[in-house]
A and B are shown apart, each in its own frame.
Chain A
Amino acid sequence: MMATQIACPMCGFLFDPEGQGHCSACPLAQGCHIACCPACGYQTPDVQQTLIGRWLSGGRRQRRRHGQHDAAGQTLADVPPGWCARIVGMNHGPGLRRQRLRAYGLEASTRVRVLQQHPVTVVTIGETELALEADLARGVQVDSLEP
């Protein structure tokens, strides 16, 4: 999986927390979750490296990603809670699973509303409320996100 870039809270520089210049010299670099900005040297915790951070920031991260109008390759798992989206495609492996999702109404050109993303994705399609695991949600491609 590609590492997410983080923005330095001090100078705003966008950088990849892995493979920064400072760390190679540090004896505590192993297992360290502090990222140092290559531009100004400011230290900030790399939230995505910590268990609690990942848990708590789940929802926020997705909203930010949406803010960066990353339209290509969005999935149901990226839709912020409370937002609507239109399904454009499904790529689920076994046929039976795809057919079941379709029977529940998850299919191309349907509009769905995402209620929440944690602990599992919950969506409403018409009058049906459906809970599905992130793995399944990631297989549903969507576009035209709107609050």
Chain B
Amino acid sequence: MTCHAEGGPALSGDGAIALVGNPNVGKSVVFHRLTGRYATVANYPGTTVEVARGVAAALAGGTVMDTPGLLMLPAHSEEERIAARLFLDQSLRAVVQVGDAKNLRRTLLLTVQLAEMGLPLVLALNMMDEAAEHGLHVRPEVLTDRLGLRVIPTIATRGQGIADLEQAIAVVQRASCRLSYPAPIEAELTCMGNLLPPAPISPRSLGLLWLCEDTVAEEWLRSRVPVSNMRQLTAARDRAASAMRESPADVVQQARLAVVDQWASEAAGEPASRRPDVLRTLGRLTIHPIWGWPVLGAVLVALYAFVGVFGAQTLVGWMEGRLFSQAINPWLASWAARLIPIDWLVDLLVGPYGLWTMGVTYALALILPIVSTFFLAFGLMEDSGYLPRLAVLSHRLFRVMGLNGKAVLPMILGLGCVTTATLTTRILETRRERLLAILLLALAVPCSAQLGVVMGMLGAVSFSATLIWAGIVLGVLLGVGWLAAKVVPGERSPLLLELPPLRRPVASNVLIKTAARLEWYLREVLPLFLLGSILVFLLDRTGLLDQASRLAEPLVTRWLGLPPQATLAFLLGFLRRDFGATGLFALQSQGLLSPLQTVVAMVTITLFIPCIAAVLMMARERGWRTTLAMTAFIFPFAFAVGGGLRILLQAAGWT
């Protein structure tokens, strides 16, 4: 076994710099430090599910790519495959592996694989502070010696070691690592030498990937190698498999681990024993089969108090009730009436469905305070590492829905934004699980803005209204999930998830993240809200709104039992679910909705299709046929549940 950096001049010029590494080791923080571009950073595996690109000024303007986490090769889930494809599809200027210093063994397992590929490699050993806290004294120089590549200790959250890392990237050289494998593997690797096409990675590592049945490598080879050679490759793999008791992949991994174990113990040794601290104890409590539930309850109550009460009632009260309704809007209306002689233009700006009175007021006075509080609370939860721990508690619930506890991550992210959560379903292992999760996201998971509006409205009615709403939505989630799991063929994959430690959130990261999300939200929402206002204004002017209301009357007025004005809200709901909810919010604040009507309206709008962006994302991830089928199911279903609930509540005498 030999590892060393190949001599010759440092690599330069074209090609991007890729940041790779195990999940949840801080790749996105390093990315932010190198490029100044913000990539969402959080304390759960699977924060990054797509390749993000940025430019690093300190590295002669080189492009830096932030990739999804990769535990090892062969890649397992869709997001891992995205990272794995990079090595085969692109000629990279440098590969920076970000590793967790306190999980050396796992870090080095990937390092060895990357070094075998002959990539220009630098290892950034991140979270050195946490390793020290865990009583581990990691010596990077030992690893530099064994691996033959630059190993830079970093604490990316504080920016420590980043300058050294930039220097190391500038002078990076191709790694060269040659581990010895059992004779049958070596024999086949030699045989396969002439059959493999030229690749950005070493032929030996490509051969190993093939022998280990890596699906990404297989796909890549099939598109480049003639059929006759493919047959010979398959024969080589079969020979290797039959010559050994275990599969080639197992044998190869064991050989690598034997080396890695030795290096890891040389570089760090055994950790000193550690006193249990508050965060560790709290971490245990959050997943405890009994205490985990009160902790979850407390988190939910705190979330409700902050977002539903403080955000949706107090802040909205100030913004909408005082600032907009009493000060800005009347003032603007009077000025507009005085300065603009054209009636319809005044109406378009400050009329009942005007750009300002509806579009901007909805977006800034109603939604902004709610999403700000939600994103802040959510950022805190993300960075604390609480979210993946919920996978443990909720596993049984998701089992009913044909998923495993890991699905809690996209579901909870869906409470932030269903569109991005649809993308996060990539962390799930099978196609079937991704499909089920996307259906449930589209159907029963309200997004932040909508959730805030719902909380605010139901909070204003009564606590029992909130319970009814939550019960129905949860019941639908479970019921539809259970049925869909029965209908969609395939098996559930078992839960296997690393639980990151609970951490104290870094205030600056939470604030930056909240601000970044708010900016994104306003950019996406304001134009849509303005567009919506114009549409409604036009519909109103042309009399189509009345016609639509009349057409929808049997559905909205008779079946759901809502006032005719609610039709408008549902029309807005087509554009964005939260826009519709905001329309209902406005109705309620005018005293047009009774408690029963509020609950029915809230349930229906929650089960509505999320928004145009989410539908486009669904189509991108799962294709138009699936998306149309889901939409065709969701609309009638939302109205069916809403009307059914009205009948039930009326029969029960709930008002």
Contact of B498 with A128 in the complex, beta carbons under 8 Å:
yes
Selected contact of A120 from candidates B249, B253, B283, B405, CB within 8 Å: B405
**Interface assignment of B396: CB less than 8 Å from any CB of chain A:** yes
**Interface assignment of B288: CB less than 8 Å from any CB of chain A:** yes
**Interface assignment of A105: CB less than 8 Å from any CB of chain B:** yes
Q: Which residues from chain A contact B289 at a C-beta distance below 8 Å? A: 116, 118-119
**Interface assignment of A115: CB less than 8 Å from any CB of chain B:** yes
Q: Which residues from chain B contact A103 at a C-beta distance below 8 Å? A: 71-72, 106, 109, 253
**Interface assignment of A47: CB less than 8 Å from any CB of chain B:** no
**Interface assignment of B76: CB less than 8 Å from any CB of chain A:** yes
Name the interface size band of chain B.
35 or more
Selected contact of A136 from candidates B134, B257, B271, B496, CB within 8 Å: B496
- Nearest CB in chain B: distance from A81 CB, A: 9
- Nearest CB in chain B: distance from A48 CB, A: 19
Proximity bits, A90-131, B CB within 8 Å = 1, else 0: 000001111111111101000000011011101000111111
* Residues of chain B from 271 to 295 with CB closer than 8 A to chain A in the complex: 271, 283-284, 287-289
**Interface assignment of B392: CB less than 8 Å from any CB of chain A:** yes
**Interface assignment of B563: CB less than 8 Å from any CB of chain A:** no
Known: A120-B405, A129-B499. A95 touches B106 (CB 8 A): no
Question: What residue of chain A has the Cβ atom nearest to residue B134's Cβ?
Answer: A127
**Interface assignment of B102: CB less than 8 Å from any CB of chain A:** yes
**Interface assignment of A135: CB less than 8 Å from any CB of chain B:** yes
Selected contact of B392 from candidates A102, A107, A122, A135, CB within 8 Å: A122
Known: A99-B253, A133-B494. A127 touches B271 (CB 8 A): yes
Contact of B391 with A131 in the complex, beta carbons under 8 Å:
yes
Name the interface size band of chain A.
20 to 34
**Interface assignment of A88: CB less than 8 Å from any CB of chain B:** no
Contact of A116 with B287 in the complex, beta carbons under 8 Å:
yes
**Interface assignment of A132: CB less than 8 Å from any CB of chain B:** yes
Which of A97, A100, A116, A129 neighbours the largest number of chain B CB atoms within 10 Å of its CB? Answer: A129
A130 to B287, CA, bound (A): 12
Contact of A132 with B495 in the complex, beta carbons under 8 Å:
yes
Q: Which residues from chain A contact B105 at a C-beta distance below 8 Å? A: 105, 126
**Interface assignment of B393: CB less than 8 Å from any CB of chain A:** yes
Contact of A132 with B496 in the complex, beta carbons under 8 Å:
yes
- Nearest CB in chain A: distance from B433 CB, A: 14
Selected contact of B404 from candidates A104, A105, A133, CB within 8 Å: A133
Selected contact of A116 from candidates B103, B288, B405, CB within 8 Å: B288
Contact of A101 with B496 in the complex, beta carbons under 8 Å:
yes
Known: A96-B249, A101-B496, A131-B495. A120 touches B106 (CB 8 A): no
Selected contact of A131 from candidates B74, B249, B497, CB within 8 Å: B497
Contact of B103 with A130 in the complex, beta carbons under 8 Å:
no
* Residues of chain A from 22 to 77 with CB closer than 8 A to chain B in the complex: none
Contact of A132 with B494 in the complex, beta carbons under 8 Å:
yes
Contact of A127 with B103 in the complex, beta carbons under 8 Å:
yes
Contact of B494 with A131 in the complex, beta carbons under 8 Å:
no
**Interface assignment of B250: CB less than 8 Å from any CB of chain A:** yes
A97 to B77, CA, bound (A): 12
Identify 20 new A-B residue pairs, CB closer than 8 A, beyond the known A97-B496, A131-B392, A135-B494: A95-B213, A95-B250, A99-B74, A100-B72, A103-B71, A103-B253, A105-B105, A105-B106, A119-B393, A122-B392, A122-B499, A126-B105, A126-B271, A127-B102, A127-B103, A130-B499, A131-B495, A131-B496, A131-B499, A133-B496
Q: List 6 A-B contacts (CB under 8 A).
A: A95-B250, A104-B106, A122-B392, A127-B134, A132-B495, A133-B404
